[in-house]
Structures are given as structure tokens and as C-alpha cells.
Amino acid sequence: MILLQAGGQNPTQLMFILGAMILVFWLFMIRPQAKKAKQAKEFQQNLQKGTKVVTIAGIHGTINKVNDDNTTIMLETSPGSYIKIEKSAISQEWSLALNKPVEPAK
């Protein structure tokens, strides 16, 4: 309603509205995205041998080895079958869902 008024606007009001819009944008867009990226990075850094994971391409497997460069892993997709992939290719959401304990049916 303030923006719809004709004539000379109070510059203080316009600055306040602009600041409020930037704050709302930061609270609802930038902050959650940065938080999610931080959680994904922590998840990828904490991957260990024996963890069951799913890649972003949908490949299921178990981590056999975290390589010395600490950016790649050896993933065992079936007994005796290994592929080398980047840690960044592991899907946090799908891997956590895969490792979630199953609740008994009532």
C-alpha cells in the first residue's frame, strides 16, 4: 500500500522496504541452501568403509575403500565388482533413507 501512493515517497520508507525484502530473501532462499550444502559436505567427509550408499545416478553399493586423495572412493556394487567414484556423487538423501532403521509393521 505504501508503494502504491503517488507523489514523493519518504526515502526512509523505501530503504526500509528494500531492506526488509532483502532480509526475507536471505531468510527463505540463501540461508537454507547454504545450510543444506554444509550438511552435504559434512556427510561426504564422514563416509567410511562399510557404509551403504546410493549415488546421484541411482547406483547402490557399499564403500570398500576411501582413497588416499580423500575425494574418491571404491564402491562395491556387487561381490567382487568395484567402481571408483567421486565422494560428491553420493546422494545424502537417498543414502540416509537406505540406512534408516526399518520400523516394525503394526
Block mean pLDDT (10 aa), the chain, length 106: 58 90 90 90 89 92 90 92 92 81 68
CA dihedral for 26, 29, 32, 34, sign (positive or negative):
negative
> How is residue 14 written as a grid cell?
523505501
Kindly report the number of other CB atoms within 10 A of residue 77's CB atom: 15
CA distance linking residue 4 with residue 13, whole number of Å: 13
pLDDT of residue 81: 94
Q: Rounded to an integer, what distance in angstroms lies between the CA atom of residue 68 and that of residue 65?
A: 9
CA-CA distances (angstroms) from residue 17 to 2, 7, 21, 25, 43? 9, 17, 6, 12, 38
Angle at CA 60, nearest 5°, toward 56 and 66?
85
**Every domain of the chain and the residues it spans:** 10-46, 48-99
Q: pLDDT tens-digit profile of 22-39? A: 999 888 888 999 998 899
CATH code of the domain occupying 48-99: 2.30.30
* DSSP state letter for 100: S
